């Protein structure tokens, strides 16, 4: 992606100063083509449907941001473990895939401001004898989590009494919980709630939420960019602020959730 030399520092500064609407109608010639990487296996945030279309909160937010930035965006799906390496290698220009902003990830990539923030939770089978979402209650239990996520890191640090089993995707740990091959799973409360309230997740229930750890869980989910893409980051930040202000964020939010997923 080449950023136009005609977009000056002054325009970028103006976009930040007028964050609540600066991107509306503002042509950003250098941002006409943006390729966005996402996972496609993390409903309700991003899902690759059987017909090949991408749906979910991440996808709708990404499309709205691109419209706000007057950019034409295309999407690429990528397995979670390779998400950051593929960004660095230039496979796409930005990651919009519910990626938590953490200090560890900041060593490799830059992030925008958050576009949502929700806590982790534990789900179990409806007939489980696990009484609460705590390390003591999970002592000796087999706990499933998606690998290379803040949730697997949280389990390792905060739930050491459990035996942790890692999976490439969320769909795989869900199948194992349903079949009884793991005793509990950890993930974002929205992801787990969406699942247990569906026919596929009728086997299970939310045991409870966990108190986020800023060092582990980060500041919320943000858009990851290659280091040094300051102008692109500023444009995304201005667009996020504009969506929050003009009601588009709420419109998308209410399509998926009955609360403000943006968080504190």
Cα(150)–Cα(212) distance, rounded to whole angstroms? Answer: 10
Residue written as token pair 């102008």? 231
Residue 164: CB atoms within 10 A of its CB come to 17
Q: Are residues 118 and 256 in contact, defined by beta-carbon separation less than 8 angstroms?
A: no
What structural domains and CATH numbers belong to the chain?
9-117+219-256 (3.40.190.10), 120-216 (3.40.190.10)
Residue written as token pair 């803040």? 150
Q: Are residues 131 and 117 in contact, defined by beta-carbon separation less than 8 angstroms?
A: no
Q: Give the pLDDT confidence of 21-36 residue by residue, as tens digits.
A: 333 333 345 557 999 9
3-state secondary structure of 221: strand
Q: Are residues 54 and 38 in contact, defined by beta-carbon separation less than 8 angstroms?
A: yes
Residue 2: CB atoms within 10 A of its CB come to 8
pLDDT along the chain (264 residues), means of 10: 37 37 40 90 96 98 97 97 98 98 96 97 97 96 97 98 97 97 97 94 96 93 98 97 98 93 88
Tokens representing 163 are 């035996």
Burial (Cβ within 10 Å: 0-12, 13-18, ≥19) of residue 51? exposed
Cα(156)–Cα(146) distance, rounded to whole angstroms? Answer: 12
Q: What is the pLDDT of residue 64?
A: 98
Q: Are residues 94 and 54 in contact, defined by beta-carbon separation less than 8 angstroms?
A: no
Cα(1)–Cα(5) distance, rounded to whole angstroms? Answer: 13
Q: What is the pLDDT of residue 40?
A: 97
Q: Are residues 198 and 184 in contact, defined by beta-carbon separation less than 8 angstroms?
A: no
Cα(233)–Cα(166) distance, rounded to whole angstroms? Answer: 32
Residue whose C-alpha is closest to residue 20's, from 261, 172, 196, 243: 243
Q: Are residues 215 and 103 in contact, defined by beta-carbon separation less than 8 angstroms?
A: yes
Residue written as token pair 């980060």? 218
Q: What is the pLDDT of residue 12?
A: 39
């Amino acid at each position: 992606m080449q950023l136009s030399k005609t977009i000056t520092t002054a325009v970028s500064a103006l976009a930040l100063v007028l964050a609540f609407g600066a991107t509306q109608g503002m042509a950003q010639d250098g941002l006409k083509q943006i390729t966005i990487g996402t996972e496609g296996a993390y409903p309700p945030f991003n899902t690759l449907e059987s017909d090949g279309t991408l749906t979910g909160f991440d996808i709708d937010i990404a499309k709205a941001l691109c419209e706000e930035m007057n950019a034409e965006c295309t999407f690429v799906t990528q397995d979670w473990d390779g998400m950051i390496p593929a960004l660095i290698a230039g496979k796409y220009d930005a990651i919009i895939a519910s990626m938590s902003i953490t200090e560890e990830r900041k060593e490799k990539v830059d992030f925008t401001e958050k576009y949502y923030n929700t806590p982790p939770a534990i789900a179990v089978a409806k007939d489980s004898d696990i009484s609460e979402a705590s390390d003591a209650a999970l002592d000796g239990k087999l706990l499933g989590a998606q690998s290379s996520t803040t949730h697997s890191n949280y389990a390792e640090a905060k739930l050491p009494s459990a035996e942790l089993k890692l999976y490439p995707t969320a769909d795989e740990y869900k199948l194992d919980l349903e079949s009884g091959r793991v005793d509990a799973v950890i993930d974002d409360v929205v992801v787990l709630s969406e699942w247990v309230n569906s026919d596929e997740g009728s086997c299970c229930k939310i045991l409870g939420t966990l108190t986020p750890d800023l060092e582990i869980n980060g500041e919320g989910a943000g858009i990851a960019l290659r280091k040094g893409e300051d102008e692109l980051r500023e444009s995304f930040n201005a667009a996020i602020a504009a969506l929050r202000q003009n009601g588009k964020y709420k419109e998308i939010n209410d399509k998926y959730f009955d609360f403000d997923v943006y968080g504190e």
